[in-house]
Amino acid sequence: MAELATVARPYAEALFRVAQNGDMAAWSAIVGELAQIGANPDLQAFAGNPHVTQDQLVDTIASLVKSPLNLEAKNFIAMLAENGRIALLPEIGVQFTVLKNALAGAADATIHSAFDLSADQVNQLVASLEKKFGRKLNPTVAVDPSLIGGVRVVVGDEVLDTSVRAKLQQMHAALVA
């Protein structure tokens, strides 16, 4: 995976520079859609088919994007197809989002909870997490019953685990040691 990230980074950075000079919201939508399209196994198989021309691949991908594509986006897709880099689309999307969040002083946060959280609970939790992490958070909530209780929050490479499962694991480690 690290190799994909390394190869995708220059593409994401170049695309981000283009987006900074244009409409960031439109580019974010396009990049998000391209990442989803690129992650599709059927598209990966289509892209790997030696009987499919680059033009057919570019036209197919462009037809799947719902957002309006500008000339730069079409050229970007064509360049990826020409270099055999369509498989990088999901990682380019991830890195583009990281760059966009860094510019805005924000980060994506995945909140794993043992139970469903109400909107009010999520808002209160995010407010306290923003103070702890020192930046604006874009939360995504996922239910994970194996946590037993509490939450596990992942922000980039930082993890805050206050779940009952984590506390039980810590107690087990202390008792075994």
Report how far residue 145's alpha carbon sits from residue 131's, in angstroms, rounded to the nearest whole number: 27
Instruction: State residue 1's pLDDT score.
Output: 53
Predicted confidence at residue 94, as pLDDT, reads 94
What is the reported pLDDT for 78?
96
| Sign of CA pseudo-dihedral 128, 129, 133, 135 | negative
- Say if CB 77 and CB 34 are below 8 A apart: yes
Q: Where are the domains of the chain?
A: 2-101, 105-176
CATH number at 105-176: 3.40.30
2-101 maps to which CATH number?
A: 1.10.520.20
pLDDT tens digits, 90-130:
999 999 999 999 999 999 999 999 999 999 999 999 999 99
Domains 2-101 and 105-176 belong to one CATH topology: no
Torsion of Cα atoms, 90 then 91 then 97 then 99, to 10°: -160
Q: What is the pLDDT along the chain (177 residues), one digit of tens a residue?
A: 568 889 999 999 999 999 999 999 999 999 999 999 999 999 999 999 999 999 999 999 999 999 999 999 999 999 999 999 999 999 999 999 999 999 999 999 999 999 999 999 999 999 999 999 999 999 999 999 999 999 999 998 899 999 999 999 999 999 998
- Whole-prediction pTM: 0.76
The pLDDT of residue 60 is 96
Measure the CA–CA gap between 115 and 160, rounded to whole angstroms: 17
